[in-house]
Amino acid sequence: MTAHFSAENRARAEALVALYPQSRSALVPLCHLAQAQDGWLCAEAMEEIAELCGTTPAEVYGTATFYDMLHTERVGRHVIAICTNIACLLAGAYELVEHAERRLGVRCGQTTEDGEFTLEEAECLAGCDAAPCVQVNHRFVAAGDAASFDALVDELAKGRRRQEVPRHGVLCRIERTVGLPGSEASPRRQARS
């Protein structure tokens, strides 16, 4: 099998596996890592994740497809999720979805031809006091009405929000650096007993 993760990400992957008493537990974090590298979860990544987790690529695929955030098909650089659940519904979320579909020229679940935007109808994102709630790549953004939605799309297309909204797949930009298993500060030897 050829390596799919870069050398740097392979080291990150092995560190993730070491965090858990059983390597299979790292499956979802490793899928996030693959998405951070590639923007989506490709077959080659799933093969390497299976090897790291001591399971089969089919198990990785079967698990990954259970979860909304894991994309086994290509998505855009910006995945825009509009919540339409109860609090957002009451704040006009479907009207916003209709506007977003017109603005981007795609329906929910589709990606623009240039690969910049994927539009999704999301379930409750736990931001109901600012309904309707919109996330781009799982970052909360203020885009609850047509005008601010358009302004957001323009800014994203021009690459002006990269600091705040990294490209799709990059989830947690902060890494655990202290007390890792094997390090001096780790209490793990006792935990594994």
Told to check if 72 binds other proteins by CB under 8 A, we report: no
On whether the CB atoms of residues 149 and 143 are closer than 8 A, the answer is yes
Told to check if 106 binds other proteins by CB under 8 A, we report: no
Count of residues engaged in binding other proteins, rule: CB under 8 A: 69
Told to check if 53 binds other proteins by CB under 8 A, we report: yes
CB of 31 to other proteins, least distance (A): 7
The dihedrals phi and psi of 189, each to the nearest 5 degrees, come to: -60, -40
Work out which of 2, 113, 182, 193 binds other proteins, going by CB under 8 A: 193
Told to check if 28 binds other proteins by CB under 8 A, we report: yes
Nearer CB in complex with other proteins: 2/187: 187
Nearer CB in complex with other proteins: 114/175: 175
**Strand blocks (E) in the chain:** 78-83, 117-122, 134-136, 139-141
Work out which of 9, 12, 135, 153 binds other proteins, going by CB under 8 A: 135
The Cα–Cα gap between 27 and 63 comes to 9
Told to check if 187 binds other proteins by CB under 8 A, we report: yes
Work out which of 5, 13, 31, 78 binds other proteins, going by CB under 8 A: 31
**Alpha carbon distances (Å) from 28 to 4, 25, 67, 164, 170:** 17, 7, 9, 24, 14
Select from 3-11, 55-63, 110-118, 147-155 the region that touches other proteins (CB under 8 A): 55-63
CB of 161 to other proteins, least distance (A): 14
Told to check if 178 binds other proteins by CB under 8 A, we report: yes
The Cα–Cα gap between 25 and 11 comes to 17
**Torsion (CA) 150, 155, 159, 165 in degrees, nearest 10:** -90
The Cα–Cα gap between 120 and 53 comes to 30
Please give the biggest Cα pair distance in the chain: 58
Burial of 123 (0-12, 13-18, 19+ CB in 10 A): exposed
Binding-site ranges for other proteins (CB under 8 A)? 19-22, 24-29, 31-32, 53, 55, 62-64, 66-70, 84-87, 89-90, 92, 94-95, 97-98, 108-109, 121-131, 135, 137-140, 171-179, 181, 184-188, 190-191, 193
